[in-house]
Amino acid sequence: MARILVISPSGEVYDHDNVRWYRHADLQSHINHYHNIGDAFVFDSSLKLLNFEKLEELPITRIDPQQIDRLNAEFDYVFLRGSNYVHAEMNWSRTAEVLRRLKLPVIAFGIGAQAPVSGKLELSEDSKTVLKLIADSTASVGVRGTYSAEVMNELGIRNVRIIGCPTAFRNNRPDLAIRLPALDTVKQVGVTLRREVSKHYAKDIKRYLNVHRDLVKAMAERFEVTLMSQGEVEEKKLALGTPEQKQEGMAALRENGWATAWYLDERMEELYRDRMFYSDVVAEYEQLVRRLDLVLGYRLHGNLMALANGTPSIYFTYDSRTVEFAETFRIPSVDVFGDKPFTLEEYWDQTLFDRFNAAYAQTYRAMSAFLSENKIDHKMAKPAVAAPSAPPAPEPERKVA
């Protein structure tokens, strides 16, 4: 059984391979702090695919030669938790210095590139150095999709594998398939929220928030809806705060110019007060999506958690990350900036989800082959043949403007 290090763990580990936020039981210690619990989904899911006996975080903010000597002696490999690391503003701290001293392979476990809204992605020299050090240490680099593979290729990194994201495979089901029930039997629906967004991600904030609001209200008109937040402070207070903190959360929303102009109205306030869900424990999100008949919305990992548990999900895509995930797994998706209004009936089509089922099986094999070729002890079924290097992604369901 392996002894492994992790870069950027995003939560505390309990019961061997379960993740929750730090000091989760003391909510008041961090209720005013934003952290994206979706990152913990990825960490938790990664651990569930690996066989290991010991886990420790690799420090990347300081250099301690004695500690690095100990890590080299005691551990087998390092993995970089999958996330959106490849973008213009990424700060790697002293990662390059640490990796030069460390003699262990560093596994990039589904990392991704973020395209700017306009223009070409420009990476710092430090980012290029770190990515090349990682690539040189292992047989292959695992990325989430075609765009990320193309960025790596432009950096001269050729040993790339498209493996999606560990969250999709967290239950280690090689034969997972989404089967749609009759739409008139759907009762419980989750909407994954991402109210906060940067102009560097979404090209039209007003449109983004208008479509978001309309989706929430439309689903609430038809179904018993749960609004699934992933860590924004106002939503967290409304879900779990004291009565005073709930008032603070709503007041802060009302003071937000974007929210009041394009997102918040009387009905949205009512839903935010009554239907909000948030947890610092990954397992509680999994329990929720297993009770739901459908999950749809803006959250990349919230939607993927649903699919991993056999619950149908529809993505609302608004940037290169969400588009890339939808393309890699061929998940039915709605272009937030497209001209066509969303109609659920149009997407309640088993042939669309059969494309996901096929892409999931292919990407499962790619993930398993990636771990095997990097000599990682893992729990996934071993494919008969190795995955190809950076295969082209299937065509997306909906074109992005």
CA distance 14 to 172: 20
Residue-level pLDDT at 117: 86
Sheet architecture: strand order including 313-317 = 276-277, 224-228, 188-192, 294-297, 313-317, 333-335
Enter the DSSP assignment of 3. Answer: E
Angle at 36 between CA 34 and CA 40, to 5 degrees: 135
Contact 77, 6 (CB under 8 A): no
2-172+362-373: which CATH architecture? 3-Layer(aba) Sandwich (3.40)
Q: What is the pTM of this model?
A: 0.94
What is the pLDDT at residue 200?
77
Say if residues 170 and 48 touch (Cβ distance below 8 Å).
yes
Q: Among the residues of 193-278, which ranges form H helices?
A: 205-222, 233-240, 243-255, 257-262, 266-274
The first and second tokens of residue 318, run together, are 């608004």
pLDDT at res. 384: 59
312, 353 Cβ separation under 8 angstroms: yes
Work out the end-to-end distance of the chain between its first and last CA atoms, rounded to an integer number of angstroms.
47
CATH number of 183-356: 3.40.50
pLDDT truncated to tens, each residue of the chain (401 aa)?
899 999 999 999 999 999 999 999 999 999 999 999 999 999 999 999 999 999 999 999 999 999 999 999 999 999 999 999 999 999 999 999 999 999 999 999 999 999 998 888 999 999 999 999 999 999 999 999 999 999 999 999 999 999 999 999 999 999 999 999 999 999 999 999 999 988 878 899 999 999 999 999 999 999 999 999 999 999 999 999 999 999 999 999 999 999 999 999 999 999 999 999 999 999 999 999 999 999 999 999 999 999 999 999 999 999 999 999 999 999 999 999 999 999 999 999 999 999 999 999 999 999 999 999 999 999 999 865 544 444 444 443 433 32
CATH 3.40.50: which residues of the chain? 2-172+362-373, 183-356
- Left, alpha or beta for 147 (phi > 0: left; psi -120 to 50: alpha)? alpha
Strand order in the sheet with 106-111: 52-57, 2-7, 77-81, 106-111, 141-143, 160-162
Residues ≥6 apart with Cβ < 8 Å to 93: 60, 61
